[in-house]
Structure formats: structure tokens, C-alpha cells
Structure 1
Amino acid sequence: MSARSFELLLETAFDSPSPEVFAEGATTVYTDLERALREAKFSNGPAREQLSYRFERLRLGVAIAFVKAFLRLADNEKSKEVLEVLQEAVQAKNTREIDKIVQKRIATFDNLYHEIFVNPQREEILHLFEQTLDAGTKEELDELILDGLELLHEVDWDAPHNQEDDDDEEPLDEEFLKNL
């Protein structure tokens, strides 16, 4: 896996050659994690904390890419708040700050599922987002980056989004959504 794949995932999700997700750039975030992994093998304490922080930043970047792609397809106003939370969290200086930001606004993540309509690509993107939140290793994130690149290259971004079609669909059962 490479830092370039991560960069491409963000570029594709944002439809921009230079999405402003990380001040230092996506490549740096990825290579910082690789360096932290090497350093953590030989030490404890601060190196382990840096490893956790670098991992969380990469995971947030992957999650941001999937949420942005979802929003490009769904244009769901409430779900834009999720992207805002993730973008705020990526600015945090340590893992405790990340957790605090996300926990404070955890209810916004429910909005991703409130207006989900039958659309296989949106569902696949949300599934990748969920897997990103569950990922616990760099290898799992690498696999999700590749899966995301493959999926996002298959998406017809120019297909018109017809809100009337979505309105004809029955909303998902609230109890079902709570059990996700």
C-alpha cells in the first residue's frame, strides 16, 4: 500500500486534485503513520501514543473520504454535519482530543442513516465507512483504501440525483437503524 493510494482516495472523493483535509498533506499523514509504526517497535510510552495518534489521523482521513463521497451522491444536508465533525477531529493534537470531539457530537453520525434510500453505491460507501471505524490496523486501512478507490472509480458522479425518486422509497424502520 502506498501514501499515493490514500492521496488518490481523497482526491477522488473530493473531486479535487488537492483536497484540504490535512494541512501537511495526505502523503505526510500516511508516511507519519509508517514512521510511527517503525519507532513503536523499539520503544514504549510516547512512541506508542504517537502511533495511536497517527493511526487515528489516517483512519479519520479514510472516513472523511467515504463520507464526502457519500455526500456527493446523496446531497444529504444533515450528513454534512458528520463531515464537519470528522474534519474538526482531524485537527486535534492527540487521541484524547479526537475522542472528545467525536463523543461530543456522536449523535450526528446517526444522520448518515436517517435518509438512506435504496442506492447500492451509497450503501457500499457507508459500509466502507463503517469498516473504517472498526479498523484496528494499518493493513485493514490499506485494504479499505484500495476497496474505496475501486468503488469510487465505478461511481457515475455525473448521474443526476433525483430527489423525487428518493421520496418514493419507503424510509427504513427506525428500530432497524438503531440496531446497526
Structure 2
Amino acid sequence: MSAKSFELLLQTAFDTEEPNVFEEGAPEVYLALERALREAKFAKGNNRDELSFRFERLRLGMAIAFVQAFLRLADNEKSQEVLEVLKDALKAKNTREIDKIIQKRIASFDHLYHEIFVNPQREGILELFEFTLDAGTKEELDDLILEGLELMAEIDWNAKHSEADDEDIEPLDEDFLKNL
């Protein structure tokens, strides 16, 4: 995978050439993880924190891309809070700060699943978001970037969402959602 693919994922999700997510730019975030991986191979122990931090920044960027794409499709204003939490976590200086920011506002993630009606594209994006949060290797993130690009290429972003589209579809069971 490449830094360019990561940048394209963000550009597609935000529908702009310059998705203002990272001050240093998306390619640099990806390249910083690659550098940290190389350095970790040759260093003894003390680069583990840096490697974890770089991995988390890439993962946060991917999560932001998937949530942004979801928001473009779902018109779910409450889910905007999730995007804000993830963006705030990007400002952290280490993985402990990232965890602290997310844990403090974890309840906002419930909004992604609240009153969401079955829609294959939205479900696919949320599934990629979940897989991103579960990913533990760069290779897994690379695969998810590719899957995200493929899914987003299939979406008709110009199609207008209508509440009438969802009228015949039952909402997801809230007890099921609470067990996620």
C-alpha cells in the first residue's frame, strides 16, 4: 500500500483535494509509520512508543475517513460528534493521550449505530470503521485502505438520500446494538 492510497481515501471521504485532517498531510502520516517500523527493527525497545503512536495516528485517520464517508451518506447529525472526538484525538502527543480522549467521550460512538436503517453502503462503511478499530498491523490497515477505496468508488455520492427509502426498513434492534 502507499501513502498516496491513504491520501486518496481521505480525499474521497471528504470530497476534496485538501481534506484538512493532518497538519503535515496524510502522506506524511503514512510515511512516518513506515519509518517507525524500519527504526523499530533495528532499535532496542525505546522506539515501541513511537511505533504505537504512529500506528494510532494512521488508524485514526482511516477511522476519520470512514466516519466522514458515513456522514455523507447517512445525514446523521449526532454522528458528527464521533468525527469531532476522532479529530480531537489526533491532537494527542502519545497513545495514552489518544486513549484518554476517546475514553472520555466514548458514549458519542453510540450515535453511529442509533436509529440507523439498513443500507448496504452505510453498513459497509461502518464495517470498515469497525475493522479499522480492530486492526493490529500495518498490513491490516493497508488492506482496509484498499477495501475502503473500492467501496467508496462504488458509491453514488450524488444520489439524494430520502427518508422514504428507509420507511419500509425496520430499524436495527437496540438490544443488539448495545451488545456491539
Q: Please tell me the TM-score bracket, short chain as reference.
A: over 0.9
How many Å apart are 1:168 and its aligned residue?
4.5
1:122 maps to 2:122: yes
Alignment of 1:135-150 (within 5 A): 135-150=135-150
Letter in 2 for 1:110: D
- Count of matched residue positions in the alignment of Structure 1 and Structure 2: 180
Gapped regions of structure 1 (runs ≥ 5):
none
1:48 maps to 2:48: yes
Corresponding residue for residue 16 of structure 1: 16
Separation of aligned partners in 2, 1:146 and 1:177:
27
Corresponding residue for residue 90 of structure 1: 90
How many Å apart are 1:167 and its aligned residue?
4.5
Q: Deviations over 1:101-135 (max 9, x none)?
A: 00000011111001211110000000000000000
Q: TM-score, normalised by structure 2?
A: 0.97
Separation of aligned partners in 1, 2:12 and 2:108:
24
Separation of aligned partners in 2, 1:167 and 1:108:
25
In structure 1, the residue corresponding to 2:113 is in which secondary structure? helix
How many Å apart are 1:5 and its aligned residue?
0.2
What fraction of aligned residue pairs are identical, expressed as a percent? 76
Kept after mapping to 2: 8 A contact 1:117/1:171? yes
Q: TM-score, normalised by structure 1?
A: 0.97
Corresponding residue for residue 64 of structure 2: 64
Corresponding residue for residue 79 of structure 1: 79
Corresponding residue for residue 39 of structure 2: 39
Query: Greater CA deviation, 142-151 or 167-176?
Result: 167-176
Q: CA RMSD in A?
A: 1.0
In structure 2, the residue corresponding to 1:82 is in which secondary structure? helix
Detail structure 1 runs of 4+ shifted over 4 Å in the superposition.
Answer: none
Separation of aligned partners in 2, 1:81 and 1:164:
25
